[in-house]
Amino acid sequence: MSYKYLILGMLSENPMSGYDIKKVVKQALGGITSASYGTLYPTLHKLLEEGCVSMQEIPQRTRPSKKVYHITDRGREELREWLKQPASTDQVRREFLLKLYLAHNLEPKDVQIMLAMRRAETEQTVREVLADKARQTGEKSWLADYTLAMCEAELNWLTDFESRYKPL
Amino acid sequence: MSYKYLILGMLSENPMSGYDIKKVVKQALGGITSASYGTLYPTLHKLLEEGCVSMQEIPQRTRPSKKVYHITDRGREELREWLKQPASTDQVRREFLLKLYLAHNLEPKDVQIMLAMRRAETEQTVREVLADKARQTGEKSWLADYTLAMCEAELNWLTDFESRYKPL
DNA sequence: GATTGCATGTAAGGGGTTACATGATTTT
DNA sequence: AAAATCATGTAACCCCTTACATGCAATC
């Protein structure tokens, strides 16, 4: 995904510390990506060297200094260039589908369990996303809508699959 | 994804060489996973050590010996145990969604291009999957159906998104 | 004559996570 | 009294891809 641009993207909205970036990413983009400190901090250091961000250290009595990063003109330019490039193809790993593909090694009972669990998980996701959406009151719900569309499509597919599988 | 089980899974259907596994995976599971030689061969060696597979070397005049791997009882047992465990959560990275989220850094024109490209790619996928499905004459089309369901859901979502975006 | 297919493998590197280290403050 | 929040960072590791090395045969 190139975390470089994820970080620049976050900083294009607001100056933030590494700690902040993680929170914001989780809250706003939790469904599509994540950012761990092990990647975040080293990448910020690299961006500083490259001149894509500037840093302002704010001392605090009780805690480590807060380092607030600002995107620079250079960083904005690089971000824009990247955004214009065609997006790389989706990388999707659904272990569930692999297991279903190999289901002939299991007893029918276990396959039923697998399908039921998948359904329950997907329904759970729908509930969570709906709750999130309600909390955000309107604006920028398109990401939530995307997830919901995928979940609904999968639930329909599951129904279809089950009706074909049961008779076997 | 743990390639160990992908390989065991493939061998649970037929004895195969590493070379064969790659082909079969690409053909049957191309949409959900892949297997590169750099992972395949070392993993096969490890599985052999662990006693999960056995190997039969078949000399050939013109080429390197073909090494045909068979799954053992031990391997079958481990595969079954793994299959019974709950599938790990989907890992999905859609760079497209991240770029769309950061689209406020682009001119509207470039956003339109992004959306149009995504639509074209998704439609292309639909065409390819339909062609594949036609070739396979019936059986085991559920995986293709899954992909198609996701693509259709996305195309609908795209239409929705575009109609909301255009007025802005 | 160049590309594709068959068939094995290794080495280097990329990209990331997890767990750890530190430590006060606020909430439960 | 325990856990979560704030806040930085490093080190070890995992998993995987890419590119390379080898080399003949068949196809275009």
What is the nearest CA distance from B146 to chain A, expressed in angstroms? 7
Using CB atoms, pick whichever of A32, A146, A153 lies closest to residue B98.
A32
Cα A78 to Cα A51: distance, rounded to the nearest angstrom: 11
**Does residue A168 surpass a pLDDT of 60?**
no
Report yes or no: A100 and A114 within 8 Å, Cβ to Cβ.
Answer: yes
CB contact under 8 Å between B106 and A84, yes or no, is: yes
> CA B43, C1' D17: Å apart?
15
Pick from B27, B94, B151 the residue to mutate for testing the A interface (most A CBs within 10 Å).
B94
| Burial grade of B104 (CB within 10 A; 0-12, 13-18, 19 or more) | exposed
Predicted local confidence at residue A107, as pLDDT: 96
Q: Is B143 exposed, middle or buried (0-12, 13-18, 19+ CB in 10 A)?
A: buried
| Residue pairs between chains A and B whose CB atoms are closer than 8 Å | 155
Give the per-residue pLDDT at B138.
Answer: 66
**CB of A62 closer than 8 Å to CB of B65:** no
Q: What is the structure's pLDDT at A159?
A: 98
pLDDT score for B125: 95
Q: If you measure CA to CA, which chain A residue comes closest to B77?
A: A105
Q: Helix, strand or coil for residue B92?
A: strand
% of chain B surpassing 70 pLDDT? 98
Q: pLDDT class for B31, splitting at 50, 70, 90?
A: confident
For residue B78, count other CB atoms closer than 10 A to its CB.
Answer: 19
Look at residue B168 in the predicted model and tell me its pLDDT: 57
Which residues does chain B have within 8 Å of residue A94's beta carbon, measured at their own beta carbons? 32, 87, 90, 92
Show residues of chain B in contact with A106, CB under 8 Å.
80, 83-84
The pLDDT tens digits of the residues spanning B36-66 come to 999 999 999 999 999 999 999 999 888 889 9
Min Cα–Cα distance to chain B from A64, Å: 30
**CA at A86, C1' at C16: how many angstroms apart?**
23
Q: Is the pLDDT of residue A38 over 60?
A: yes
Q: Which residues of B touch A160 (CB under 8 A)?
A: 145
pLDDT value at position A145?
A: 96
**Nearest chain B Cα to A1, which residue?**
B95
Give pLDDT, residue B64: 85
Pick the closest to residue A5 from A72, A71, A79 (CA basis): A79
Q: What is the pLDDT of residue B93?
A: 93
Nearest nucleotide by C1' position to the A37 CA atom:
D9
Nucleotide with the nearest C1' to A19 CA: D7
Contact A142 B154 (CB under 8 A): no
What band does A67 get if pLDDT is binned at 50, 70 and 90? very high
pLDDT over threshold 60, residue A35:
yes
pLDDT of residue B37: 96
Q: What is the pLDDT of residues A2-22, one digit of tens each?
A: 899 999 999 999 999 999 999
Strand-pairing partners, residue B27, are none
pLDDT, tens digit, for every residue of B103-122?
999 999 999 999 999 999 99
List the beta strands (DSSP E) in chain A. 53-58, 66-71, 91-93
Cα(B20)–Cα(B71) distance, integer angstroms: 14
- Nearest chain B residue to A10, by CA: B102
Tell whether the model's pLDDT for residue A101 goes beyond 60: yes
What's the pLDDT band for A140 if we cut at 50, 70, 90? confident
Q: Tell if the CB–CB gap between A1 and B146 is shorter than 8 Å.
A: no
Q: Which of chain A's residues have a Cβ under 8 Å away from the Cβ of B105? A: 9, 12, 76, 79-80, 83
Instruction: Give chain B's mean pLDDT.
Output: 93
pLDDT in tens, A125-136: 999 999 988 887
pLDDT, position A136: 77
pLDDT at A134 (0 to 100): 86
